[in-house]
Structure 1
Amino acid sequence: MRNIILSLVFTSAFGHIVFSQAEHSDGKVVKGVASNDMIIYGSDTCHYCTDTKMFLEEKHIKFIYYDVDVNLEKQKEMLEKLQKAGIPLDAISLPVVDLIGKLKMNNVANFEGFLKSLIQKTK
């Protein structure tokens, strides 16, 4: 798993250009990110990621979502943030949420607690 992630970082660092954009929770396509926006790095094939998006939309919490399977530039950004935070790359659990510089990852053992922690951080 670690080798796959590292090869993806290497590949994206040397020439992959992805023309996808972010999707804001209200359906608008965004080019820049405000400093107070919640950023979710996930995958449309990950049920935890889709459940997180649905949960936040139901609670009317704004966020920006990047599908890291499609957007390799944002995948690289996520990996760099995790490395800066000292989180081992072999410990990644999607979704990864950036709450104004503080990273949170899905806790599969307590997914409901993970979701509740996202609400508490936005109040």
Structure 2
Amino acid sequence: MKKILLLLFFFTAFIPSQLHAQETSKKAIIVYGSDDCHHCIDTKAYLKKNNIEFVFFDIDKNADALKEMLAKLKNAGISTSNLGIPVIDKQGVIFTNNGVFEEFLKKLN
């Protein structure tokens, strides 16, 4: 009985947040960043200006989003040792701002 309750707790506590992110990633770009990051602010402005649907997660305030972002980076083989934000999930393609910012923005289209 305890095993069943534990499994039920696991599925209700952890699976819905993953499913939500998967649903969102099919419809919109996911942006992981910070409200204090100027590149993140500029990325959100670019997406709004170009009418590109997106969801923003502030990794400073949302520990679950931070964990999700780190897992996605690991699965994509992207090192977190010198990570720059924002981190983008564009329908399963993960990339970061690690070069010329204007080139990074072009990848969002």
Indicate the TM-score class for this superposition, using the shorter chain for normalisation: 0.7 to 0.9
Q: 1: CA distance between counterparts of 2:107 and 2:78?
A: 19
Structure 2 spans left out of the alignment, 5+ residues: 1-18
Superposed displacement of residue 91, structure 1: 2.8
C-alpha deviations, 1:31-88, integer Å up to 9, x for none?
9343232100000000000000001100000000000000000000000010111111
Q: How does 1:94-109 map to 2 (within 5 A)?
A: 94-107=85-98, 109=99
Q: 2:106 aligns with which of 93, 109, 116?
A: 116
Tell me how many residue pairs correspond in the alignment: 88
User: Who wins on radius of gyration, i.e. which is larger?
Assistant: 2
Structure 1 spans left out of the alignment, 5+ residues: 1-30
Question: In structure 1, what is the equivalent of residue 68 of structure 2?
Answer: 77
TM-score by structure 2 length?
0.76
TM-score by structure 1 length?
0.67
Q: Which 4+ residue blocks in structure 1 deviate beyond 4 angstroms?
A: none
Question: In structure 1, what is the equivalent of residue 56 of structure 2?
Answer: 65
CA contact (8 A) 2:29 2:53 kept: yes
Superposition CA RMSD, Å: 1.4
Task: Provide the identity percentage.
Answer: 43
